Amino acid sequence: MRTTRRVVILLAALGGCLAAVAYAAPRHSAPPATGPGRVREGVLPKPSLTDHPDRLAVSASARFSFTARDHRLRFECRLDERPWRPCRSPVVFTGLSAGAHRFAVRATGARNIHSRSARFRWKILEPKDFSIAPQLAGLGELYPGAPALPLPLTISNPNPVPIFVTRLAVSPADGAPSCSSADNLVLTDAGVSNAAPLRVPAHGSVSLPTSAVSAPAIRLRDLPVNQDACQGATFPLSFTGRARG
């Protein structure tokens, strides 16, 4: 059986929809300032960042976690040149643009006192599409009732950071013969998901199937009707994928 293919590539960043930066409300209202411009710094313990993005990322979202020695303290966060705002750990930013970003968090107390800020800088890169290359040479025979045949493929990542593939699907491409309809043909997606993504290293590639991850598969149903129309048929297939950075 000869199999042609068409490849459709899609790289989706985590938190695909654009959204404004969301800050959790503080437990208590901020204390009043003691006077314009009067800010005392360094008296309170400086917070520690316990979670942050990689220095280079392709995701349009970023998550920060932080803590301080005194767990009764309140916090203020700042992204880039935006004003300080009350926040709680963790804080998540979404819809971020490509380029350099800066995050800062500080502890706050009564009388407009605050700690020195903990800071982090990172850069969001413009994500590049990953590629799906089917490796179908030597594929076994496809006939009604036979076990499903894996469709080996190679996923290549041109980005300078790892990506995590969350979907690899196969479907009949445009122009497929009637024999390839859902009545006759069973196509199964690869064994990846949001809960169990496939990691592809920076500037690297991964081939499926592996011992842990199944490749897409194809099977011809054994129907109680004449299926001679499927003999010698060519099945054009379309492979699509989704990943996060």
Whether 136 and 103 map to the same domain: the answer is no
Is pLDDT at 22 greater than 70 in this prediction?
no
pLDDT in tens, 37-71: 444 555 789 999 999 999 999 889 999 999 998 87
Tell me the sheet residues that pair with 48: 67
Whether 88 and 106 map to the same domain: the answer is yes
Domain carrying residue 190: 128-244
If one compares 228 and 92, the residue with the highest pLDDT of the two is 92
Q: Encoding tokens for residue 123? A: 């850069």
Q: What is the CATH number of the domain that holds 235?
A: 2.60.40
pLDDT in tens, 194-241: 999 999 999 999 999 999 999 999 988 887 777 676 777 777 889 999
Tell me what pLDDT residue 137 has.
Answer: 84
Whether 223 and 140 map to the same domain: the answer is yes
Whether 50 and 82 map to the same domain: the answer is yes
CA-to-CA distance for 28 and 232, rounded, in angstroms? 73
Phi and psi (nearest 5°) for 100? -80, 145
pLDDT in tens, 102-129: 999 999 988 888 999 999 999 999 989 9
Pairing of strands 198-200, 163-172: antiparallel
Judge contact between 83 and 50, C-beta under 8 A. Answer: no
Listed in sequence order, the residues at least 6 apart from 183 whose beta carbon sits closer than 8 Å to its beta carbon are: 221, 223
pTM: 0.64
Whether 200 and 135 map to the same domain: the answer is yes
CA-to-CA distance for 231 and 142, rounded, in angstroms? 9
Residue-wise DSSP of 55-68:
SEE--S-EEEEEE-
